[in-house]
Amino acid sequence: MTRAEHSGGPGAVGPGALGLGALGLGAAEQAAYELLVDQPSATLADLAAGWTRPEALDAVLGTLEERALVSTTPVPPVRYSPVAPDVAFGALLADHEEQLDQARQHVSVLDAAYRARPDGLQAGTVIEVVTGQRAIRQRLRQVQRGARRQISCLAKPPYFDNAGTTSAALDLLRNGRTCRTVYARSAIEHPGALATVEELIRTGQQSRVLPDVPVSLYLADDKLAVLPLRREPATADAAIVVHPSALLDALVKLFEGLWQRALPLHSPASAHEHRPAVDQQRLITLLLSGLTDEAIARQLGLSHRTVQRRVAKLMSDLGAHTRFQAGVQAAMLRLRQTRGPGGGPD
């Protein structure tokens, strides 16, 4: 499969689709360069057969040649070849990296000056109040994107931005950041919630659950925290951002204490397992989470009666006296089976 086929063809390339928009290339220039990578040393007619954009291909190639991104043969028929990407874009990348370093240094100077002000220890520099759901979402994104090591989260409805927060967590995980989340039971009761958590776990999130957590909380590298302003908000329409301070240290200790107490959540061991086996694993997870039979039925897409029968059978098979005890014993049994006869380390 060629690069053009993989990306949907040159006509499908949009700004930044190749990651070159930041280097000053427009969508048409990116598409033309990609076409040349697939067809080096091609004539204009050869390239035109695969060109689907509205811009004139010869003009776009001329722009690439002016920018020293394309070379041509001196004699007819003129053939176009891309300059090797590391040569073509290496200098541009170096320039951008230098500019970013200069910007970081300047931000550091500004931050030092900001914190050195006479009022630098006043509450306004420690606690930042953000109001309005749109402003909160934007500030939360900034905090999440600023994390260099990890995001730690206490998840409890109502959320600042459920879908956006999940997307941000997936991006962080794919970029090598650590994400730890302690879910309140109420966070995984809604239909589809367990599937979302399992997707995050498969991507690398470390997930645990408690019957309840005191507040929704996001911690970025233990340097910034975001939490609701109101104690029991109906909607997350006001938030505070906590900067380095004794209060932030207390929030970090709160998270770590809850993390140690919380029960680990696991995704099904294999996406290739049969549906009954996967449902059995989910049943055990949800029993351990303390969900009611009604909530478990919603998560598994089963009837209330079916869940009751499965829970009763599990308790009977294991000789358990309570639902939670059945979940613990089943989880321990599965762990022993997974480790094999040797048992492995505790």
Domain residues for 55? 3-83
Residue 113 lies in a domain: no
Indicate whether 163 and 186 sit together in one domain. Answer: yes
107 vs 30, 51, 110, 225, CA distance in Å? Answer: 32, 44, 5, 20
Indicate whether 141 and 255 sit together in one domain. Answer: yes
Indicate whether 253 and 281 sit together in one domain. Answer: no
Domain boundary among 83, 118, 144: 83
The pLDDT of residue 10: 41
Residue 226 lies in a domain: yes
Q: Are 207 and 181 in contact (CB under 8 A)?
A: yes
Closest CA to 269 of 279, 261, 260, 278: 278
Residue 155 lies in a domain: yes
Check which CATH number belongs to the domain holding 326 and give it.
Answer: 1.10.10.10
The pLDDT of residue 132: 85
The pLDDT of residue 56: 92
Indicate whether 137 and 200 sit together in one domain. Answer: yes
The pLDDT of residue 26: 86
Residue 221 lies in a domain: yes
Residue 315 lies in a domain: yes
Indicate whether 204 and 305 sit together in one domain. Answer: no
Indicate whether 258 and 289 sit together in one domain. Answer: no
Per the structure, the count of domains in the chain is 3
E strand or H helix at 136, and its extent?
Answer: helix 133-145
The dihedral sign for the CA sequence 153, 133, 289, 332: negative
The pLDDT of residue 16: 40
3-class SS string, 300-323? HCCCHHHHHHHHHHHHHHHCCCCH
Residue 328 lies in a domain: yes
The pLDDT of residue 1: 39
Domain boundary among 208, 238, 264: 264
The pLDDT of residue 256: 95
Indicate whether 279 and 260 sit together in one domain. Answer: no
Indicate whether 231 and 310 sit together in one domain. Answer: no
The dihedral sign for the CA sequence 333, 334, 338, 339: negative
Residue 93 lies in a domain: no
Indicate whether 148 and 250 sit together in one domain. Answer: yes
Indicate whether 280 and 254 sit together in one domain. Answer: no
Residue 99 lies in a domain: no
Indicate whether 260 and 320 sit together in one domain. Answer: no
Would you say the pTM of this structure is higher than 0.85? Answer: no
Check which CATH number belongs to the domain holding 171 and give it.
Answer: 3.30.870.10
Domain boundary among 19, 49, 83: 83
pLDDT, averaged in runs of 10, over the chain (346 residues): 42 46 82 88 89 91 87 86 83 79 75 59 71 86 84 86 65 81 83 79 85 89 88 76 92 94 71 57 72 77 82 78 67 57 46
Whole-number Å distance between alpha carbons of 50 and 198: 41
Indicate whether 184 and 233 sit together in one domain. Answer: yes
